[in-house]
């Protein structure tokens, strides 16, 4: 029996249609994550929020700290970027960053503060006043000892995307010698982050 043949043009058209259907189905099952504008939440009136973060670079065998202080209006009161010529574990550098943040705030005369970071383990330990039975616990204890010098101190955990300024300062610090302090300012390269124009996928 003679079978009807299809022209090359019809075969190509059919293949393209099936490919388009396949791609459409894949997009429906795997939609792109939405975009959101990262928003920093201000502290209550009369308090200062201190955001901190720690970073490490195995390549440079160094660690770094970023700290930014802001008031209820979102105005930057001061910021700090500091490099440490030693590679620490993630938890230790976060604890060192928290300690430096409190010391920085105390040096500037602030005693009613919220200490905010993106290391959930550290913030949980500080809130519960709990210790680790290891060397990490010694660094966390240092933070708790400095905390007694504040009239009012609260701890807050946020996701990395909402701690963008401190995180960016910590990364910036890997390129400085010792430390740099900005009063009522941040490095020019971080202006857009402070102004909330940084976009992050969630």
The whole-number mean pLDDT for each consecutive block of 10 residues of the chain, a chain of 202 residues, reads 54 59 56 56 95 95 97 95 95 96 97 96 87 68 91 95 95 92 92 66 32
pLDDT of residue 201: 34
Which among 156, 160, 157, 158 is positioned nearest to 201, based on CA atoms?
Answer: 160
- Two structure tokens written together for 55: 């970073």
pLDDT of residue 193: 86
Query: CA 65, CA 93: separation in Å to the nearest integer?
Result: 8
Query: CA 84, CA 176: separation in Å to the nearest integer?
Result: 10
- Residues 48-201, CATH architecture: 2-Layer Sandwich (3.30)
pLDDT of residue 128: 86
């Amino acid at each position: 029996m003679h079978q009807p043949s299809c022209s090359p043009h019809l075969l190509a058209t059919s293949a393209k249609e099936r490919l388009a259907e396949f791609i459409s189905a894949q997009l429906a099952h795997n939609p792109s994550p939405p975009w959101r504008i990262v928003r920093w939440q201000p502290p209550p009136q009369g308090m200062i929020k201190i955001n901190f973060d720690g970073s490490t670079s195995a390549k440079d065998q160094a660690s770094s700290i970023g700290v930014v202080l802001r008031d209820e209006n979102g105005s930057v009161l001061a910021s700090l970027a500091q490099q440490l010529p030693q590679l620490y574990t993630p938890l230790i550098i976060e604890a060192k960053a928290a300690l430096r943040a409190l010391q920085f705030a105390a040096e500037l005369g602030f005693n009613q503060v919220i200490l905010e970071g993106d290391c959930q383990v550290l913030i949980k330990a500080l809130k519960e006043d709990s210790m680790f039975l290891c060397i990490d616990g010694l660094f966390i204890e240092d933070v708790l000892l400095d905390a007694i010098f504040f009239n009012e101190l609260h701890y807050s955990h946020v996701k990395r995307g909402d701690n963008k300024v401190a995180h960016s300062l910590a990364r910036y610090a890997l390129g400085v010698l010792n430390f740099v302090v900005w009063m009522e300012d941040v490095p020019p390269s971080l202006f857009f982050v402070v102004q909330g124009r940084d976009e992050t996928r969630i």
